[in-house]
Structure 1
Amino acid sequence: MSLWRTVRNLQRVGVREWWRQLQYIGDAKSGTLVGADQFGNRYFENRNGEEEVPGRHRWVDFVQHDFNATQVPPEWHSWLSHIRQDPPAADPVIQNLTPPWKAAWTENLTGTPGAYKSYNTVVPKINAWDPKVRPRV
């Protein structure tokens, strides 16, 4: 990130948002708000080609401070990854898409207290030694 680009983005987004971006994503960016998902994440795009590194002109501003990539829904992930040209709110294919499942989308909880933990229902083949203690006489 160049000094001129940093100063220009500071003027565009303001000091508070500029500082917040440096703390969260490590870069100062300015762009147009494209949309938001059901979790409150905001999605931005900067169409000015010479300001951003190619392929880094779309980004997400997460609501939570402790974020990871599984908090992005699939329809927004396809837009961020340049699989789809239009954002989900303007894409007619996604608007007419009905998912085959009825469950709501949730993030991946692996490594968190909410992760799925299976339990074993099979009797073990090897049992641990269980000593029998006799009372002393």
Structure 2
Amino acid sequence: MVGIIRYIRNIRRSGLKQWWRNMQYIGDAKYGALKGTDEFGNRYFENLDPEDEVPGRHRWVDYAQHEYHASQVPPEWHSWLHHIRKDPPTEDPVMQNLSPAWKSHWVENLTGTRGAFKTYNTAAPKMTAWEPKVANRSGSLQ
């Protein structure tokens, strides 16, 4: 009964459109405070109300892409989601001053996609396949 009340309360708070999106992407009716957005457009939420969320499930990410996976979360947001850091990167002064100007942008893991890194060899092969050579016969049989 408590689960149904929580479910209906979160539908009222988030609205029908957001509820439907949450059901399609995360499979639960969640509602929380927006803590920030990363460079990919992923949105990060937190709900500290013990009546609404189970401890350990009170931080979550709403992915911007339909085909999503965990490597689309940058390291600074990953550390906040998994309780390595208390404050989100948007509020943590250490995280804001940590990234040097020369640091490249985070790129998701592209393994298994067309954008995956593929090595190639520039050295000549040590073994080659046998190619038969056809020679003309000088004599003919009659």
Calculate the TM-score normalised by the size of structure 2. Answer: 0.87
Larger of the two Rg values belongs to structure: 2
The Cα RMSD (Å) is: 2.0
Indicate the SS of the match to 1:114.
coil
Name the counterpart of 2:12: 11
- Secondary structure at 2:19's aligned position in 1? helix
The equivalences for 1:51-90 within 5 A come to: 51-90=52-91
The runs of at least 4 consecutive aligned structure 1 residues that moved more than 6 Å come to none
Superposed displacement of residue 125, structure 1: 2.5
Map 1:23-102 → 2, pairs under 5 A: 23-99=24-100, 101-102=102-103
Where 1:119 maps in the other structure, the secondary structure is coil
Distance 1:6 1:134, change over 3 A: farther
The code of the aligned residue for 1:11 comes to R
Tell me how many residue pairs correspond in the alignment.
137
Q: For residues 93 and 133 of structure 1, what CA distance do their matches in structure 2 show?
A: 74
The percentage of counterpart residues that share the same residue type is 64
CA distance in 2, matches of 1:34, 1:57: 12
Q: Structure 2: where are the runs of 5+ without partners? A: none
**1:130/1:101 CA distance change after superposition, 3 Å:** farther
